[in-house]
Amino acid sequence: TQLLEQSPQFLSIQEGENLTVYCNSSSVFSSLQWYRQEPGEGPVLLVTVVTGGEVKKLKRLTFQFGDARKDSSLHITAAQPGDTGLYLCANQPMTTDSWGKLQFGAGTQVVVTP
């Protein structure tokens, strides 16, 4: 089973600051998804990265996939209180019978205070 390690576990910042969270593995990712889970809700997909070196932007969020496809980062510029949530990375297992299964990291809890 591939282990996804997310860091840091917890991040508290002021509105307007920037932040970066990381997702790493000892094995190559087939593809990587980032989800955000707001309090009291289920996770919602933000982005999927597939190609090594890929960079995707979603408004103030920038997602990078490492060249070797073993790591990914999520950078938020000028964070707002609405960015508060648990950020989870998830990977599709590299097996032929995965049936759409995903493996999730433990998540980074981000708190943005006004």
Partner 1 sequence: DVKVTQSSRYLVKRTGEKVFLECVQDMDHENMFWYRQDPGLGLRLIYFSYDVKMKEKGDIPEGYSVSREKKERFSLILESASTNQTSMYLCASSPPQQGSYEQYFGPGTRLTVT
Footprint of partner 1 (CB under 8 A): 1, 4, 9, 31, 33, 40-45, 48, 88, 90, 92, 98-107
- Cβ 63 to partner 1, closest distance in Å? 14
Largest CA distance in the chain: 47
- Cβ 75 to partner 1, closest distance in Å? 21
Please, which residue, 45 or 58, has the CB nearer to partner 1? 45
Please, which residue, 92 or 112, has the CB nearer to partner 1? 92
- Cβ 14 to partner 1, closest distance in Å? 24
Decide: 88 and 57 in contact? Cβ < 8 Å.
Answer: no
Please, which residue, 20 or 37, has the CB nearer to partner 1? 37
Strand ranges for the chain from DSSP E: 5-7, 10-14, 19-24, 32-37, 44-49, 55-58, 61-65, 71-76, 85-91, 103-104, 108-113
For the record, the structure tokens of 99 come out as 């049936």
Decide: 28 and 68 in contact? Cβ < 8 Å.
Answer: yes
Please, which residue, 17 or 38, has the CB nearer to partner 1? 38
